[in-house]
């Protein structure tokens, strides 16, 4: 394997060529693989790193099947269609997020590029194995939020208060601090020209109804509580370390 192939596989390509204040933060971005063999479909749906039923009873099998295969699958297909024959076609996903704007002409790329990035990240920060945050991460949480309980409460409040569809995030800001934020729809904290609270995402929760409605119906708070049982803290830690450099 040559260096270029290695970079592509490990997802570092986008980060390496990004410029601007988020260039180093984007190193922590989800490793989104591209399929260079097919220039008409540069983006591919990543496989789930566990079985569809692996997160039961916290997240049910049917929700995972529809969410990954149909919803995420559609974001990938629509993103490929949207970038085709545009200047975006030659960019990595991280570069697209950095460039995309509120211009209505960017709408499909914004929604589907965000959708592809956000879900690629989301699958990796879930795990059927019980993990726990490291002492290092806990110390950073205590420093930036005061206590674990405050951190958890603030994250839950952010997730509950998204009106309609969107995401709650833990990010590392450019001054290397942890922060909690939320975004509507498929926007995310790497969209330099769109969102106010920018940073490297290390934890994310999808609060679109498609993420929980089959099992939890209108009870979003129950889904948020269950989410804490299936967080892959090893992955969160990896992203935290990459973000603080």
Cα separation, 169 vs 111, whole angstroms = 17
Q: Which residue is nearest to Mn ion (CB)?
A: 206
What is the spatial distance between Cα 170 and Cα 182, in angstroms, rounded to a whole number? 9
We find the least distance from the C-beta atom of residue 108 to Mn ion, in angstroms, to be 17
Q: What is the DSSP string of 20-43?
A: STTTTGGGGS----B-TT-TT--B
Closest separation in Å from C-beta 75 to Mn ion:
8
For 7, residues 6+ apart whose C-beta sits below 8 A from its C-beta are 13, 16
Q: How far is the CB of 189 from Mn ion (least distance, A)?
A: 16
Q: Which of 242, 244, 241 is nearest to 27 (CA)?
A: 242
Contact segment (CB under 5 A) with Mn ion among 39-47, 105-113, 198-206, 228-236 equals 198-206
Q: Stretches 23-31, 49-57, 162-170, 203-211: which one binds Mn ion (CB under 5 A)?
A: 203-211
Q: Which of 123, 167, 208, 227 binds Mn ion (CB under 5 A)?
A: 208
How many residues sit close enough to Mn ion to count as binding (CB under 5 A)?
3
Q: Does 187 bind Mn ion (CB under 5 A)?
A: no
Contact between 206 and Mn ion by CB under 5 A: the answer reads yes
Indicate the pairing of strand 178-184 with strand 166-172.
antiparallel
Q: Rule CB under 5 A: is residue 167 a binding residue for Mn ion?
A: no
Residues in contact with Mn ion by CB under 5 A are: 206, 208, 211
């Amino acid at each position: 394997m040559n260096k270029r192939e290695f970079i592509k596989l490990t997802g570092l390509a986008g980060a390496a060529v990004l410029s601007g204040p988020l260039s180093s933060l984007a190193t922590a971005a989800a490793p989104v693989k591209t399929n260079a063999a097919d220039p008409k479909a540069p983006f591919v749906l990543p496989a789930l790193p566990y079985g569809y039923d692996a997160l039961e009873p916290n997240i049910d099998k049917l929700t995972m099947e529809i969410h990954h295969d149909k919803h995420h699958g559609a974001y990938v297909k629509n993103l490929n269609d949207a970038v085709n024959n545009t200047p975006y076609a030659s960019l990595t996903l991280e570069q697209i997020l950095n460039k995309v704007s509120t211009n209505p002409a960017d709408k499909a790329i914004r929604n589907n590029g965000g959708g592809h990035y956000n879900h690629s990240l989301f699958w990796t920060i879930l795990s059927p194995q019980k993990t726990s945050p490291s002492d290092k991460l806990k110390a950073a949480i205590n420093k930036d939020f005061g206590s674990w309980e405050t951190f958890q409460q603030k994250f839950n409040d952010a997730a509950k208060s998204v009106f309609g569809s969107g995401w709650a995030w833990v990010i590392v800001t450019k001054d290397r601090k942890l922060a909690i934020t939320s975004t509507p729809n498929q926007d995310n904290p790497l969209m330099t020209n769109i969102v106010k609270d920018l940073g490297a995402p290390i934890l994310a929760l999808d609060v679109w109804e498609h993420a929980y409605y089959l099992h939890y119906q209108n009870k979003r708070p129950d889904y948020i509580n269950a989410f804490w049982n299936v967080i892959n803290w090893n992955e969160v830690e990896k992203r935290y370390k990459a973000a603080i450099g």
